[in-house]
Structure 1
């Protein structure tokens, strides 16, 4: 079982270290880890945020454990050389089109949410975000109009097959949960969203056991804070999914708690090939201070075990250990606690 470990930049290296320690503590036979540079770290060492050698290691693995990328010192680089292009490149090159982002309030942490505890307690949803289309991958430019004004533009587009494949992921996920799927779009003003809605309705005919609801993205953002318990599975495009999943993290209490998986169609000997990462960034302002919360990365490692290696029992053990330390008050700085990065890792390993 081969895992490519790409720690990346800033706190990515710190939180990845703790997730690897947790995997080591499980004592899994036949588990092989191979490290590679990515992001600003790779740009400084190899001249590109996603060097060919890193991409090859990723291709040859059964799963990827990814830290985070980003560095303020690289903001002056041309866009194709910026650290963030590494994760976009991996998603594109490896056809990782389905992003799974679970959001659930942990027992005892209701007061950490910006929402009222009785509302935060209701949160238990899965956001399924499409990763390979939308404005992030469309044509884009900054040009100059004939009158001399500068104009920036990005093209938002989806083909029906791209919508269809992510819709199937959303419906199957809903079948495995509570049978409710909310498709989020902006079909009242965007033709891209109208196609999205039309195709989702077509796919729904194959899943009569799933209740389908449509919601405009602005209303979805409002409902996430007003009545988050109404959501079971949300399926949406790249841009809307990026925004809503980050919003959901703060409804739960901290972006440092949420894991994610990026999956495609490729099957390995053990499960579905995927990339696993926390949804937070590299936070260079706190790198090296021991303030980073590794919980999201540790939970991402649990998702890796479940989806890519078929190790459900071990994944559940990690999740139970995390839930237990949070309930016991082992909290990082982002949750108002004082536990350092390594101390949180120690606590999870002790509970295992």
Structure 2
């Protein structure tokens, strides 16, 4: 099988971690007889430096023409002085919107060999952490109107959060269908005691739930959900929520598993083309030092194989290789523990490739 992958290496540690993920994909291609062609698509701060904008038209065209997109990370303090409309993150928002990627899926799974890195009490961690956050991605306050104006002698800022029924309905279907393949439980997170958008969210998700009688639906306020994730994460199977809440909760979820560097994500819309990335940032403080953990990006590549390319065996091979590397004691700095072997980004990628 031949596939074209648009590659956004991005900023900070992005080029390092994406390079290792590409190496793993090449190992998969060699073992299973595939051919992956990579097309560079500059985006983020590096694109601002080279083209003046965070997402040049040429990069967008490359992504839209590809079978899927692999992303490292974008942004950093270097571009903090950019106007809001031209910050590196605006390129990512534009890409998501242009690709129609309305659902973000972030697994939160604690690897048994990294249980010591979990910040929760051992008795809580021992119950297990294995759930998924399904986040609506192109609606809500991030995509609403934003304005700042002088009112009565002071600055006043306004950000509009809005949702339509169809936006809620389509992401709810993703969550329920995912739950059917897992433990058949969906927790819908909102703030329906305060927000009109959340009241619409709750009503719509409840209606969709009627189409999935085999799946249990629970509703939870976002403040309670944030507490429950650290109190007893084992209670969750699939969490579905809107854009802002999902952004916050998925980062919290990643940390209770031990390290944000281990967590991949996929962003999908209609069809099979998606955007795959780790959930961490560009970490400019360690960029170019061979200290970054590439596992989140490598597991994102495995999600690409599974969800966009329908290559389940190949995805299993990558995930099993990561499991084996951890069992064999190899650790990057963010997951280092007593008795482990400290390795850099390049060596971690090489060890995973050996086990494909």
Same fold (TM over 0.5): yes
Q: Number of aligned pairs? A: 346
Question: In 2, Cα distance between the equivalents of 1:247 and 1:151?
Answer: 30
Equivalent of 2:16, from 9, 14, 17? 14
Question: In 2, Cα distance between the equivalents of 1:104 and 1:118?
Answer: 16
Is the 8 Å Cα contact of residues 136 and 238 (structure 1) preserved in structure 2?
Answer: yes
Query: What secondary structure, in the 3-state scheme, does the structure 2 residue paired with 1:346 have?
Result: helix
Question: In 2, Cα distance between the equivalents of 1:164 and 1:37?
Answer: 33
Question: In 2, Cα distance between the equivalents of 1:92 and 1:332?
Answer: 34
2:275 aligns with: 275
Confirm or deny that 1:29 pairs with 2:34.
Answer: yes
Task: Kindly provide the CA deviation profile for residues 79-117 of structure 1, in whole angstroms up to 9, marking residues without a partner as x.
Answer: 121111111111111110100101101012111011023
Equivalent of 1:200, from 201, 205, 219? 205
1:149 aligns with: 154
Is the 8 Å Cα contact of residues 15 and 293 (structure 1) preserved in structure 2?
Answer: yes
Question: In 1, Cα distance between the equivalents of 2:173 and 2:125?
Answer: 29
Return the offset for 1:30.
2.9
Query: What secondary structure, in the 3-state scheme, does the structure 1 residue paired with 2:75 have?
Result: coil
Is the 8 Å Cα contact of residues 125 and 233 (structure 1) preserved in structure 2?
Answer: yes
1:67 aligns with: 72
1:238 aligns with: 243
Between stretches 109-118 and 234-243, larger displacement belongs to: 109-118
2:348 aligns with: 344
Return the offset for 1:71.
2.0
Q: What stretches of structure 1 move > 6 A for 4+ residues in a row?
A: none
TM-score, length-scaled by structure 1 = 0.97
Return the offset for 1:290.
1.0
1:136 aligns with: 142
How does 1:169-248 map onto structure 2 within 5 Å? Answer: 169-248=174-253
Query: What secondary structure, in the 3-state scheme, does the structure 2 residue paired with 1:109 have?
Result: helix
Provide structure 1 residue ranges, at least 5 long, that are not aligned to the other structure.
none
How does 1:2-151 map onto structure 2 within 5 Å? Answer: 2-26=4-28, 27=30, 28-121=33-126, 122-146=128-152, 148-151=153-156
Query: What secondary structure, in the 3-state scheme, does the structure 1 residue paired with 2:256 have?
Result: helix
Q: What is the Cα-based RMSD across aligned positions, in Å?
A: 0.9
Return the offset for 1:318.
0.3
Query: What secondary structure, in the 3-state scheme, does the structure 1 residue paired with 2:331 have?
Result: coil
Return the offset for 1:169.
0.5
Question: In 1, Cα distance between the equivalents of 2:147 and 2:246?
Answer: 23
Question: In 2, Cα distance between the equivalents of 1:103 and 1:339?
Answer: 24
TM-score, length-scaled by structure 2 = 0.96
Is the 8 Å Cα contact of residues 107 and 323 (structure 1) preserved in structure 2?
Answer: no
Provide structure 2 residue ranges, at least 5 long, that are not aligned to the other structure.
none
Question: In 2, Cα distance between the equivalents of 1:102 and 1:256?
Answer: 13
Query: What secondary structure, in the 3-state scheme, does the structure 2 residue paired with 1:209 have?
Result: coil
Confirm or deny that 1:257 pairs with 2:262.
Answer: yes
1:313 aligns with: 313
Question: In 2, Cα distance between the equivalents of 1:160 and 1:199?
Answer: 7
Question: In 1, Cα distance between the equivalents of 2:288 and 2:265?
Answer: 24
